[in-house]
């Protein structure tokens, strides 16, 4: 592959008047000052939201913790508390494993000094990206800097939150530089390195195939293969398998609140319009998932088919290839299901390339128009009218999406109009027929796959235990005769909640509260894990009086997590961790209200079992889930003899055990096709039946006191792992 100089039709850019150069320098200075004042200075003194996620994950990796657990919302939150990181909520939300260890060199430092090192590195990345883009484009250095610092909100939020996108920008700029310097294989390698951090650069393989640039495609594929091999050797098969199984959720935009208007994406808009969710989107235009299933893949495929049809395999015209690069990268951002402001920092690459293309043709009006749209997309003042709109009002809350549609639409028109063939002739060509057929086939396949994915996901809506507006998570239920306790988000972190007679009461003091538990034979008392700096402890509190529960709170066990109490209230089982691997402990409970010294706890399953959850049988035996040897299995232990036996369940991983109060049934979650489903075992016959079937996760079953219904946590219709509570009648 080699590039010629721009075609004869392109005229050289006019020499700028001196006042224009001074104006550009002035604007650069103002934008740099704005960046320093609004981003760099406050970022230097605060942690903000995202940096603690990367820092904590890298720290846990260096210390040898099981790395797949960083994707567990509650476990990761607990580690944040133990590490003393002052951040209300943390979560990795399917970030790639390599991106979570980038900060490893600085995890020996405290979080804020580590962030300052990362900020300095990001400044170097940003300046290097600007330098590389200047080498690609015929623009002045000040013009490239002006375009870069016009990304006000993306730059500000990337630095404030300690994100990875400046590094992604640098790798994309490096890939473009190598590609246009006739090093296509190395360009592919650079894109593979960018895909290590954020998945979408891997889609450039489509671009290279359409352009018949086989060396670049080979470099990208080889780079991805090398990264995959490194990931397996570094993180292990179980981590890589877990990530790959959950990746489709991210590609569908089903991670953190897929209905949030803040995404400003096509996926979020169509969900707001056509899919109801009792807490996150109670008032769409109409609950018609089939409309979403038709429109979303059709829009995506239509955009890619038009782009492929407008593309040419010719590589000699450097300027047109720059336009093609700019259009493709912009379309990746447009079609991303959950982009936030800092993702658009990589839009710097397309705007520099397309501005260079237009300046070479002296089309300054279009340059100014595209730069204005780009500046609006990256504006910190771009807001919707409402944060929780209803019905057709949703259309007023997606300004960035509509601006991106305009931005990409203009570049697609430029691609089509710059072709050597007339538009009419191209419409009558064989390629147009192939494009039409490809659209019909791919859009139909996408609609069928989407409809299949949604099948059964919304059945739990009518069985919801509680509906709280904008609630992102309710999980770990505990059921008494008259109430349901559960863990859930509050603005300050996690709290234990009690739902009784449609009245919701929140308990939280001194840390995050997880995993409430009750004894069915005792009323007025509940237990929960309280996670604070250094450790977790199990506390008993009165759940009858929300105003005075703190004064009567008793610490039942130190260094203890995930408590469960026997039905008669005499025994407490809990977990203790060693480097993230849980051991199971048993302790006799003190009398209610007693402040005497507690009985000593004893270990009944060692940390080599890596215990995750536990439950009591009515006869005080304990069933627990173990992640031994990379697979989740169930074991039963007799506390009198400490004898442990495996409960064999053929063909699947099993976790979250719950024994019915009558001792006849075992509810648990089984992994089916990469998702967790509620299953039921007859403890006499050992026959197993599956109670849930949708393409989503149902976990943490808990029995009602009459052994006839189950309360469980489900993310069906929601974001991955961000569950609501539902009831399930057990027809036996």
Place of tokens 């739990």: 460
**pLDDT tens-digit map of 182-217:** 999 999 999 999 999 999 999 999 999 999 999 999
Can you say how many angstroms the Cα of residue 396 is from the centroid of all Cα atoms in its chain? 25
Specify the pLDDT at position 470: 83
Can you say how many angstroms the Cα of residue 669 is from the centroid of all Cα atoms in its chain? 22
Backbone angles phi, psi at 474, to 5 degrees: -140, 125
Residue 65 token pair: 């913790």
The β-bridge partners of 487 are: 475, 496
pLDDT exceeds 80 at position 144: yes
Q: Which residue has the higher pLDDT, 382 or 33?
A: 33
pLDDT exceeds 50 at position 70: yes
pLDDT exceeds 70 at position 344: yes
Question: What are the structural domain ranges in the chain?
Answer: 18-452, 459-729
Specify the pLDDT at position 596: 54
Q: Is 393 helix (H, G, I), strand (E, B) or coil?
A: helix
Q: What is the DSSP string of 112-152?
A: HHHHHHHHHHHHHHHHHHHHHHHHHSSS-HHHHHHHHHT-H
Specify the pLDDT at position 11: 44
Specify the pLDDT at position 525: 86
pLDDT exceeds 70 at position 10: no
* Confidence band of 421 (pLDDT split at 50, 70, 90): low
Q: Give dist(CA 331, CA 303) in Å, integer.
A: 8
Q: Which burial class, exposed, middle or buried, applies to 424 when counting CB atoms under 10 A from its CB (0-12, 13-18, 19+)?
A: exposed
**pLDDT tens-digit map of 615-669:** 999 999 999 999 987 789 999 999 988 899 999 887 789 999 999 999 999 999 9
Specify the pLDDT at position 311: 82
* Count of positions (residues) in the chain: 732
Place of tokens 């993230």: 580
Give, for 403, the enclosing helix (H) or strand (E): helix 399-417
Q: Are 339 and 263 in contact (CB under 8 A)?
A: yes
Lowest mean pLDDT among 368-377, 483-492, 560-569: 483-492
Specify the pLDDT at position 4: 43
- The percent of residues in the chain predicted with pLDDT above 90, rounded, is 73
- Neighbour count for residue 443 (Cβ, 10 Å): 20
Q: Give dist(CA 511, CA 400) in Å, integer.
A: 38
Contacts of 717 (CB under 8 A, 6+ apart): 275, 277, 457, 458, 460, 461, 696
pTM, two decimal places: 0.92
Q: Give dist(CA 34, CA 28) in Å, integer.
A: 10
Q: Are 345 and 169 in contact (CB under 8 A)?
A: yes
* Confidence band of 522 (pLDDT split at 50, 70, 90): low
Specify the pLDDT at position 420: 65
Q: Are 673 and 666 in contact (CB under 8 A)?
A: no
Q: Average pLDDT over the chain, rounded to whole?
A: 90
Contacts of 134 (CB under 8 A, 6+ apart): 141, 144
Closest of 123, 583, 147 to residue 348, by C-alpha: 147
Closest of 479, 468, 600 to residue 543, by C-alpha: 479
* Confidence band of 8 (pLDDT split at 50, 70, 90): very low
Give, for 35, the enclosing helix (H) or strand (E): helix 18-35
Average pLDDT over residues 579-586: 94
Q: What angle do CA 469, 473, 476 make, to 5 degrees?
A: 130
Provide the sign of the torsion angle of the four alpha carbons 374, 378, 380, 381, taken in this order: positive
- The percent of residues in the chain predicted with pLDDT above 70, rounded, is 93
Residue environment code for 668-705, b if the CB has 16+ CB neighbours within 10 A, otherwise e: bbbbbeebbbbbbbeeeeeebeebbebbbbbbbbbbbb
Residue 447 token pair: 């609609």
**Furthest C-alpha separation in the chain:** 92
Give 305's Cβ-side CA count (13 Å radius): 19
Give 33's Cβ-side CA count (13 Å radius): 6
Q: Give dist(CA 169, CA 206) in Å, integer.
A: 20
Q: Give dist(CA 331, CA 210) in Å, integer.
A: 15
**pLDDT tens-digit map of 473-496:** 999 999 988 899 999 988 889 999
Q: CATH: 1.10.357.140, 2.120.10.30, 3.40.50.620, 3.40.47.10. Which one for 459-729?
A: 2.120.10.30
Q: Which residue has the higher pLDDT, 651 or 422?
A: 651
Q: What angle do CA 459, 463, 464 make, to 5 degrees?
A: 110
* Confidence band of 424 (pLDDT split at 50, 70, 90): low
Specify the pLDDT at position 86: 87
Q: Is 548 helix (H, G, I), strand (E, B) or coil?
A: coil
Specify the pLDDT at position 509: 86
């Amino acid at each position: 592959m080699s590039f010629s100089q721009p075609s004869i039709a392109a005229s050289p850019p006019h020499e700028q008047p001196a006042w224009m150069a001074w104006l550009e320098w002035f604007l650069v200075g103002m934008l740099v000052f704005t960046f320093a004042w609004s981003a760099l200075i406050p970022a230097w003194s605060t942690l903000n939201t995202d940096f603690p996620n990367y820092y904590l994950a890298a720290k846990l990796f260096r210390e040898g913790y099981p790395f797949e657990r960083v994707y567990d919302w509650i476990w990761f939150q607990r580690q944040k508390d133990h590490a003393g990181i002052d951040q209300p909520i943390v979560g990795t939300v399917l970030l790639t494993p390599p991106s979570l260890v980038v900060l490893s060199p600085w995890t020996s430092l405290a979080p804020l000094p580590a962030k300052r090192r990362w900020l300095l590195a990001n400044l170097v990345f940003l300046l290097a990206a600007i330098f590389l883009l200047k080498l690609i484009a015929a623009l002045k250095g000040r013009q490239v800097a002006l375009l870069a610092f016009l990304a006000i909100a993306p730059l500000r939020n990337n630095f404030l939150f300690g994100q990875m996108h400046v590094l992604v920008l640098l790798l994309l700029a490096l890939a473009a530089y190598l590609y246009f310097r006739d090093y296509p294989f190395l360009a592919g390698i650079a894109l593979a390195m960018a895909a290590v951090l954020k998945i979408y650069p891997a889609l450039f393989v489509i671009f290279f195939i359409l352009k018949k640039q086989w060396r670049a495609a080979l470099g990208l594929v080889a780079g991805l293969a090398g990264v995959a091999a490194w990931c397996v050797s570094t993180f292990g098969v179980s981590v890589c398998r877990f990530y790959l199984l959950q990746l489709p959720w991210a590609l569908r935009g089903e991670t953190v609140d897929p209905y949030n208007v803040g995404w400003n994406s096509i996926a979020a808009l169509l969900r707001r319009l056509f899919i109801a969710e009792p807490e996150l989107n109670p008032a769409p235009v109409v609950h018609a998932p089939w409309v979403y299933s038709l429109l979303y893949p059709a829009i995506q495929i239509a955009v890619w088919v038009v782009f492929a049809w407008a593309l040419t395999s010719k590589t000699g015209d450097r300027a047109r290839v720059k336009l093609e690069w700019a259009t493709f990268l912009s379309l990746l951002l447009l079609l991303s299901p959950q982009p936030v402001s800092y993702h658009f920092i990589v839009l710097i690459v397309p705007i520099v390339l397309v501005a260079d293309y237009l300046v070479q043709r002296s089309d300054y009006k279009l340059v100014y128009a595209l730069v204005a749209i780009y500046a609006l997309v990256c504006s910190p003042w771009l807001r919707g009218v409402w944060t929780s709109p209803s019905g057709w009002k949703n259309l007023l809350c997606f300004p960035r999406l509509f601006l991106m549609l305009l931005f990409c639409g203009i570049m697609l028109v430029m691609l089509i109009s710059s072709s050597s063939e007339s538009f009419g002739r191209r419409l009558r060509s064989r390629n147009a027929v192939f494009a039409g057929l490809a659209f019909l086939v791919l859009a139909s396949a996408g609609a069928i796959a989407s409809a299949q994915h949604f099948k059964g996901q919304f059945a739990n809506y009518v069985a919801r235990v509680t509906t709280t507006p904008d609630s992102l998570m309710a999980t770990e239920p505990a059921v008494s005769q008259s109430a349901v306790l559960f863990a859930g988000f509050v603005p300050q972190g996690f709290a234990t909640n009690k739902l009784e007679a449609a009245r919701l009461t929140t308990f939280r003091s001194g840390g995050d509260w997880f995993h409430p538990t009750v004894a069915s034979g005792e009323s007025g008392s509940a237990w929960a894990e309280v996670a604070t700096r250094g450790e977790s402890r199990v506390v008993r509190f009165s759940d009858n009086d929300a105003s005075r529960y703190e004064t009567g709170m008793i610490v039942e066990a130190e260094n203890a997590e995930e408590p469960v109490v026997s039905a008669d209230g005499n025994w407490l089982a809990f977990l203790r961790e060693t480097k993230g691997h849980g051991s199971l402990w048993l302790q006799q409970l003190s009398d209610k209200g007693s402040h005497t010294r507690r009985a000593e706890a004893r270990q009944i399953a060692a940390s080599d079992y890596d215990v995750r959850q536990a439950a009591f049988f009515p006869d005080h035996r304990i069933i627990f889930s173990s992640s031994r040897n990379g697979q989740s299995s169930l074991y039963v232990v007799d506390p009198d003899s400490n004898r442990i036996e495996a409960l064999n369940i053929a063909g699947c991983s099993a976790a979250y055990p719950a024994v019915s109060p009558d001792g006849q049934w075992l509810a648990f979650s089984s992994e089916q096709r990469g998702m967790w489903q509620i299953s039921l075992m007859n403890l006499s016959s050992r026959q197993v039946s599956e109670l849930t079937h949708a393409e989503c996760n149902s976990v943490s079953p808990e029995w009602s006191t009459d052994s006839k219904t189950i309360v469980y946590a489900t993310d069906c219709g929601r974001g991955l792992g961000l569950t609501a509570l539902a009831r399930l009648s057990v027809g036996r």
